[in-house]
Structure 1
């Protein structure tokens, strides 16, 4: 059963302008029963189970609920799990291309060392989620809601936050490459730990985010272009 960190409401720094820190999940799993195999079922109910090295490629788990579960080394290629609910669970070393988690709910979830590509999480709700390590290419989070989410030590290639709402989201030691924040709404989003910090679109939506002085200098050309400014050396 997950217990959220009690210190998450503290500011990451001092003073009224300090960014509020994201509350991290603290997932404590009960003793788990091994998954007995078989395929996922739409609207299936999975409680207190350990899925180890399972191959769910191409299966249909739409609307399924996972509670107090551990998924380790599982293949998620083209698995269809829209509107699924992942609660108080830990996913480690999962891999796959084209995983469909559109409109899913992830609450008190830890995702470690994932290797994913083209994961669909548009319209999803993520609350108290830790994504640590691994690499995720083309993550689709359009129109999703993220609250108390931490990306730590991972690589995100062309993530799409278009139209999403981000509140208390932190990027810690995380590579953020060609991110899209078009039409996104940011509140207490800490980008200081993103290196590199590369924005493809949506630099005008960074109100509510915090960057470091060095990052501000790196973003200067993009900000100038957004404002229609030309930067020329004196003749």
Structure 2
């Protein structure tokens, strides 16, 4: 089993119970299996696919991700706090809690996912798009966005709509958020 600080190239990594790959370099690898927790803090992942993984807690704080694809499976917590991301694709994944707080991310695609809570506070996002994705709650507080397309995101609630600057939404999404927009600028709504 690979360990903390390992250098893995062109390998298949099978997760087991508790997997510690903090500060590892993982290139051209496929990651699969089930784990209670997986520690990738400070790790570098390049050309990596996580396929149908089932992980209760995936910690990738301060990680560097380049051309990473997570497809299928279920993740309880996916922590990408302060990560540096260039080309990340999440496809068909069910995630209870996804945080990119403080992350710097470019070229992110999230498709056909179910996310309970999506945290983006103080993140810097560029060229991010959603398609056929559901989210119960989106927290964009302090987010800096450029070319972030939310049209394919069906979100039940947004915290702090003022932080949605730099995003693209459908007219219908904005209509549904009208009361929240009004409240955020001090307008009292009454019937």
TM-score (norm 2): 0.79
| 1:199/1:165 CA distance change after superposition, 3 Å | farther
Show CA shifts across 1:127-163 (max 9, x none): 0011110111111110001111110111121111100
Question: What corresponds to 2:135 in structure 1?
Answer: 197
How many residues in Structure 1 have an aligned counterpart in Structure 2? Answer: 172
Question: What corresponds to 2:181 in structure 1?
Answer: 224
Q: For 1:190 and 1:91, how far apart are their aligned partners in 2?
A: 24
Say if 2:67 is the partner of 1:128: yes
Question: What corresponds to 2:11 in structure 1?
Answer: 69
| 1:171/1:137 CA distance change after superposition, 3 Å | same
Question: What corresponds to 2:49 in structure 1?
Answer: 110
Question: What corresponds to 1:89 in structure 2?
Answer: 29
Q: For 1:123 and 1:78, how far apart are their aligned partners in 2?
A: 19
Q: For 1:206 and 1:215, how far apart are their aligned partners in 2?
A: 23
Question: What corresponds to 2:145 in structure 1?
Answer: 207
User: Offset of 1:96 from its aligned partner?
Assistant: 0.8
- Greater percentage in strand: 2
Which stretch shows the higher mean deviation, 209-218 or 94-103?
A: 209-218
Question: What corresponds to 2:18 in structure 1?
Answer: 78
Match of 1:161 among 96, 100, 104: 100
Structure number with bigger Rg: 1
8 A Cα contact 1:168 1:189, kept in partner: yes
| 1:217/1:109 CA distance change after superposition, 3 Å | same
Stretches of 4+ moved more than 6 A in 1?
none
Match of 1:181 among 110, 114, 120: 120
Show CA shifts across 1:140-198 (max 9, x none): 1100011111101111211111000110000011122211101000000102x152133
Extract unaligned runs of 5+ from structure 2.
Answer: 152-169
Q: Secondary structure at the match of 1:183?
A: coil
Q: For 2:182 and 2:73, how far apart are their aligned partners in 1?
A: 33
TM-score (norm 1): 0.65
CA-based RMSD of the aligned residues comes to 2.4
